[in-house]
Amino acid sequence: MAPPSPKEFIEAALVAATTPYALSYTDSKQKWVILRHLLSLLQEFPGFKPSTGRFMHNDGTEVNLLRATGCVHVANSTTPTIPLVIWLHENYPQKAPLVFVSLHPMTPIHRHHPFVDNTTGATSPPYILTWKYPPCNLSELLRNLVQLFSIDHPFSYTLTTPACLTHPWLVSTKEALDRLVGMLHYDMVALRASTSDEIEKLSLLQEELKRRDRFITSMVAELGEERMRLEERVKNWAEETDRVENWLRVNDGRSIMDLNAGDVEIEDAFEMDETSRARLESSAADLAIEEVMYKLDKALEHEAVSFDSYIKQVRSLARQQFFHRCNEIASTSSPTSV
């Protein structure tokens, strides 16, 4: 038995209203429009075949719908054919058909296509978004898709420009709208990419500014602490200055000017008793002996003196240094006045 013709298949599917797989079209006028539009589509694009199937909407509802499945060829023969599935909405023709590009791992849809979703294949050109019946129909929709895909193929990230599009007066309103929407979409993609890069750079700059802010804040805090320490030192020096000035006022006969002029000896500027003077002399003699012993060590290293002479001098100097240090300790243990 020969398979039914497309017309017989569509008519049988629309008439079978009592089976579990009955289509979701209820109005007789609607069925007549569907039959006419599908036959016109199949006549113009014989590569498409009608069939039925269950379709699930985004809200989860399932309906039995007619669909046309086939491939379209664009003007460029080097590009692959585009497999399409056109579902007729249960409220067709008042609602636009649902068009999908069939997904295949060997021919992925580029993710920046303005009209085709690369994850689901859902196609939404301006013709569908502005669908209004009449005059919109399936044949004109498919012609629009062929024209659109010849400009921007869903499997290739290459935008071509047919010769007719270089002359605006030869372009229809719908074709001009498709091209304008596509150009705006790619401009938005480029703008989003540049904006994303700029946001990333600004974020890095913000982090750098925050780091510098923390560094400057810590530096300001350290400088504040240093200022407090310097103010404390200035206060201490001021107190010391006051004490020296008070001493100078009390001892006005021993002025610094007189000392600088050489009128008095430096020792005469201070009042010392015999014990303090003896302690000072013992300390000076101790340091002098220490210096002489250091010179003797250097002379021995350079063999300027003999070892016997060196030992003799060191013993004598050590004995004198011992007595001077004893006198210094004895004077320290006794009360003194300065």
pLDDT, tens digit (0-9, with 9 covering 90-100), for 252-279: 655 555 555 555 555 555 566 777 777 7
Listed residue (321, 337, 219) closest to 270, CA to CA? 337
pLDDT tier, 321 (very low <50, low <70, confident <90, very high otherwise): confident
* Residue partners of 169: CB distance under 8 A and separation at least 6: none
Token pair 């909407």 in the structure block, residue: 57
Give pLDDT, residue 162. Answer: 46
- List 83's β-bridge partners, or say none: 71
11/4 Cα distance (integer angstroms):
10
Q: Which two tokens stand for residue 1?
A: 């038995």
221/172 Cα distance (integer angstroms):
71
Higher per-residue confidence, 3 vs 143: 143
Lowest-pLDDT choice from 155-164, 176-185, 241-250, 305-314: 155-164
Rounded to the nearest 5 degrees, what angle is found at the Cα of 90, between the Cα atoms of 87 and 94? Answer: 95
- The model's pLDDT over 51-110, given as tens digits with 9 standing for 90+, comes to 998 999 888 888 989 999 999 887 665 778 889 999 999 999 899 999 999 888 777 888
> How far, CA to CA in Å, does 119 sit from each of 108, 123, 143, 202, 311?
9, 11, 24, 32, 103
149/143 Cα distance (integer angstroms):
10
Give 332's DSSP letter.
Answer: H
4/1 Cα distance (integer angstroms):
9
Token pair 């229809």 in the structure block, residue: 172
* Average of per-residue pLDDT across 313-317: 87
- List 15's β-bridge partners, or say none: none
